[in-house]
């Protein structure tokens, strides 16, 4: 179908759409229009010819409509309801919805269903949507027809699969050369009708659909009700118009329960010659095609294809083999190290499961975890992995080797286990493991499902000394609620951010704010999925504390993790010091204004090193000799909060600086930390005599600097407060 017969009417000039609106209904026999909505009024921007016909609008009236609120076209009783519906729709995340209303102000009997879809672009600064209208048949019409066809009074289409398949065989034998299509109609939420409207309505609905399928399909094929909410059929391929069929079903549903929308979906399978002998598997394929789109809110028709077939085969072998695989210990724990972004030491690892299949090789978790979740098998696997991890930690402990905390996944289903926390404590007790070495990762989506239950689980786990990590943070819509309500130990930032931040400024801003927020709440962050140096640099620059990803290490065996720990295992102590420095910085600068530190050193390399370390926390200024430093303190009267001072400088050395600074008003109270060589005790003593507050030996450790700087700043703050 082309546009012939329909005319497209231009949008109002002031809307100036950037490109030609294109809506699917230009090629569908339905009234369609694009509206902009400002929260109160609706503005018609574009419509096709059928829209006018459908709503009885004369062409010369359309100038009236486009100037005014399009909601005026709706029956007065339905207007405020539609307005509220649109507001909800635009504040929600859904991209499509539908609503029922009466369009014609003076006619109570004409009901329309509008399927609405969010428009990608704004129009005239307002959000916009496409609406596709179809008129619901008057309820009376179908009821009359039902009465006229008494033979269908008790008929809802139910036949046994056996009989139905026999019927199909006979049907195909009659004209074996024709092309056939097998179909499966899914009516999601049909069961809800029983609960909401009672059995009588449900039966009426089933009869309505049966009647409809009888009318539409019987001359060209066969149909049957397969189970509670699916119908199946086989018809001549050329006789089926899937869209028209769905449209008729929508009408039939609407005529029985106009207030509640049940979405019908269609799975189709184009039958081959040999399928004539095995109609059951043809119907099964149609059903698989249907299942493939069952949770898809947009697609309503799905054709069976090889991908669907493969998914089903995989699913089957996974389900049939999982128990055996479990017994044969084919599930193996792999570990992905997590590194500190600053020290690059290995500070933790995540335990991940791999299925080492004797014939199929390594099956990636994405292939089997979702199925295990559906089958409930995941809970068994999770506990198994937790125990394997405990054994690993115990083994290292027994051999006197260092241990890092290991995080394990806690699936959604685990959280429903009333014995969950007892099982976990049982494991750590059995293997004599410190609870702090086992960490649990809970995903944001698990939290969203039932925040209160998860809060309780987190509370108990933490009481017992376990750490809890929020996994996939930022992937859902509850991130802020989590930060507000959940006493979480570590935030794992969703890998989606890593993919976006370097190219998407918005994502980068969001991530920056999240990290600032977590810092204020003293929650360390791990970022997952870091694969390139660019991503690593970026994430570290943003202030992420630790990194997990291919850039450092892939998930690998327990042996490999042990090697990593031996090579570059770090202790938590380092991050504690950093956390202290960070806390101090935040405490000293509650409104975000940073303290200023002056670095005095004649060697540019040394200045750069110190600046690099400190500028995450402080404002940094530099001077390359003592004289310049004195000048800077005078110029910045009162705004230099601490001095890091090198002693050996060619002109005006550290001692000269101290002498002059201490004699000057603004310089006399500034904390000065002297950097001395490890071998020169006499310099240390001399520096203290000259009025230095503290000294740090070179070559220094970053943590020492952060700690001592934070200490001096804190001390100075306290002294000042006391003096006031």
Partner 1 sequence: MNDDYKNALRAIGVDVDTAIGRVVGKEDLYEKLLLMFFDDKSLETLRAKISEGNVQGAFDAAHTIKGTAGNLGLDNINEVVMPMVEILRAGSGEGVAEMVEQTQAKYDELKAVIDKYAG
Contact set with partner 1 (CB under 8 A): 341-344, 533, 537, 540, 568, 602-606, 608-609, 612-613, 616, 646, 648, 650, 677, 679, 698-699, 702
Produce one character per residue of 125-160: b if its CB has 16 or more CB atoms within 10 Å, e if not.
ebbbbbbbbbbbeebeebeeebeeeeebeeebbeee
Q: For 158, which DSSP code?
A: B
Q: Please identify which residue in the block is written with the tokens 């036949």.
A: 159
Minimum CB separation from partner 1 for residue 24, in Å? 51
Contacts 24+ apart (CB under 8 A), 168-176: 168/222, 168/234, 168/279, 169/276, 169/277, 169/279, 171/221, 171/222, 171/234, 172/234, 172/276, 172/279, 173/276, 176/276
Strand order, beta sheet including 180-187: 221-227, 230-236, 180-187, 264-270, 301-303
Minimum Å gap between C-beta 612 and partner 1 is 5
State the minimum distance, in angstroms, from the CB of residue 490 to partner 1: 19
Alpha carbon distance 318, 373 (integer Å)? 12
Cβ at position 576, least distance to partner 1 in Å: 16
To the nearest whole angstrom, how small is the minimum distance from the Cβ of residue 473 to partner 1? Answer: 23
Smaller CB distance to partner 1: residue 159 or 568? 568
Query: Minimal distance in Å, beta carbon 718 to partner 1?
Result: 29
Return the number of the residue (102 or 578) whose C-beta is nearest partner 1: 578
CB of 646 to partner 1, least distance (A): 8
Name which of 531 and 537 has its Cβ closer to partner 1. Answer: 537
> Is residue 39 within 8 Å of residue 30, measured between CB atoms?
no
Give the burial class of 354: count Cβ atoms within 10 A of its Cβ; 0-12 exposed, 13-18 middle, 19 or more buried: middle
Query: If 0-12 CB within 10 Å is exposed, 13-18 middle and 19+ buried, where does residue 469 land?
Result: buried
694-698 and 642-646: which strand pairing?
A: unpaired
In the complex with partner 1, which residue's Cβ is closer, 505 or 677? 677
d(CA 318, CA 311): 10
Q: Which two tokens stand for residue 31?
A: 């009234």
- What does the CA dihedral 217, 222, 225, 230 come to, rounded to 10 degrees? -60
Residue 19 or residue 533: which is nearer to partner 1 going by CB? 533
Query: In terms of CB distance, is 616 or 717 closer to partner 1?
Result: 616
Separation between Cα atoms, residue 119 and residue 134, nearest integer Å: 19
Nearer to partner 1, 35 or 618 (CB): 618
Q: How far is the CB of 651 from partner 1 (least distance, A)?
A: 11
Indicate the residue among 633 and 645 with the shorter CB distance to partner 1. 645
What gap in Å lies between CA 459 and CA 386, rounded to an integer?
Answer: 19
Q: Which is nearer to partner 1, 207 or 540 (CB)?
A: 540
Least gap, CB of 615 to partner 1 (angstroms)? 10
């Amino acid at each position: 179908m082309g546009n012939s017969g329909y005319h497209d009417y231009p949008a109002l000039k002031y809307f100036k759409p950037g490109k030609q609106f294109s809506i699917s209904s230009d090629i569908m026999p339905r009234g369609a229009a694009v509206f902009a909505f400002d929260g109160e009024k609706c503005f018609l921007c574009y419509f096709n010819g059928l829209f006018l016909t459908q709503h009885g609008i004369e062409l010369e009236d359309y100038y009236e409509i486009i100037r005014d609120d399009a909601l005026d076209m709706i029956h007065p009783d339905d207007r405020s309801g539609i307005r509220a519906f649109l507001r909800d729709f635009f504040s929600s995340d859904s991209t499509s919805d539908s609503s029922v209303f009466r369009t014609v102000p003076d006619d109570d009997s004409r009901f329309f269903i509008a399927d609405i879809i969010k428009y990608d672009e704004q129009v005239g600064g307002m959000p916009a949507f496409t609406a596709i209208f179809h008129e619901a048949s008057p309820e009376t019409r179908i009821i009359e027809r039902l009465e006229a066809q008494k033979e269908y009074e008790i008929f809802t289409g139910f036949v046994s699969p056996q009989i139905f398949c026999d019927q199909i065989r006979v049907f195909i034998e009659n004209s074996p050369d024709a092309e056939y299509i097998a179909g499966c109609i899914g009516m999601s939420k049909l069961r809800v009708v029983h609960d909401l409207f009672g059995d009588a309505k449900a039966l009426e609905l089933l009869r309505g659909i049966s009647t409809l399928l009888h009318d539409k399909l019987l001359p060209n094929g066969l149909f049957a009700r397969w189970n509670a909410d699916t119908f199946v059929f086989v018809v001549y391929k050329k006789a089926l118009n899937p869209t028209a069929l769905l449209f008729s079903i929508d009408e039939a549903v609407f005529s029985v329960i106009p207030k509640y929308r049940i979405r019908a979906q269609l799975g189709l399978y184009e039958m081959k010659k040999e399928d004539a002998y095995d109609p059951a598997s043809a119907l099964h394929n149609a059903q698989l095609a249907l299942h493939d789109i069952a949770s898809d809110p947009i697609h309503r028709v799905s054709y069976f294809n090889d991908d669907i077939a493969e998914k089903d085969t995989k699913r089957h072998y996974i389900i049939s083999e999982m128990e055996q695989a479990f017994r044969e210990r084919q599930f193996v724990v792999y570990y992905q190290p997590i590194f500190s972004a600053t020290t690059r030491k290995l500070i933790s690892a995540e335990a991940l499961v791999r299925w080492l299949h004797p014939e199929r090789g390594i099956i990636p978790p994405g292939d089997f975890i979702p199925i295990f979740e559906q089958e409930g098998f995941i809970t068994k696997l999770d506990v198994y992995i937790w125990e394997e991890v405990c054994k690993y930690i115990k083994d290292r402990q027994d051999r006197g080797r260092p241990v890092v905390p290991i995080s394990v996944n806690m699936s959604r289903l685990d959280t429903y286990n009333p014995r969950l926390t007892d099982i976990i404590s049982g494991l750590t007790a059995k293997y004599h493991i410190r609870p702090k070495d086992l960490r649990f990762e809970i995903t944001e989506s698990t939290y969203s499902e039932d925040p209160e239950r998860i809060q309780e689980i987190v509370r108990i786990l933490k009481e017992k000394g376990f750490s809890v990590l929020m996994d996939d943070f930022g992937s859902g819509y509850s991130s802020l609620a989590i930060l507000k309500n959940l006493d979480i130990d570590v935030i794992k930032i969703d890998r989606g951010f890593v993919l976006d931040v370097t190219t998407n400024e918005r994502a980068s801003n969001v991530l920056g704010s999240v990290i600032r927020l977590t810092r204020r709440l003293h929650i360390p962050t791990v970022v997952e999925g870091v694969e390139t140096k660019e991503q690593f640099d970026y994430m570290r620059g943003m202030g992420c504390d630790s990194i997990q990803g291919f850039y450092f290490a892939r998930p690998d065996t327990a042996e490999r993790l042990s090697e990593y720990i031996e090579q570059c295992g770090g202790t938590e102590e380092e991050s504690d010091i950093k956390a202290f420095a960070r806390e101090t910085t935040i405490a000293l600068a509650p409104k975000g204004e940073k303290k200023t530190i002056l670095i005095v050193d004649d060697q540019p390399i040394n200045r750069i090193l110190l600046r690099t370390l400190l500028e995450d926390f402080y404002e940094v200024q530099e001077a390359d000799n003592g004289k310049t430093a004195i000048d800077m303190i005078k110029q910045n009267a009162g705004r230099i909060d601490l001095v890091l001072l090198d002693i050996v400088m060619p002109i005006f050395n550290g001692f000269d600086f101290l002498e002059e600074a201490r004699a000057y008003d603004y310089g006399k109270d500034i904390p000065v930390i002297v950097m001395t060589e490890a071998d020169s005790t006499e310099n240390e003593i001399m520096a203290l005599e000259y009025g230095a507050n503290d000294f740090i030996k070179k070559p220094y450790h970053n943590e020492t600097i952060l700690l001592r700087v934070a200490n001096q700043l804190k001390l100075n703050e306290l002294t000042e407060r006391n003096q006031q």
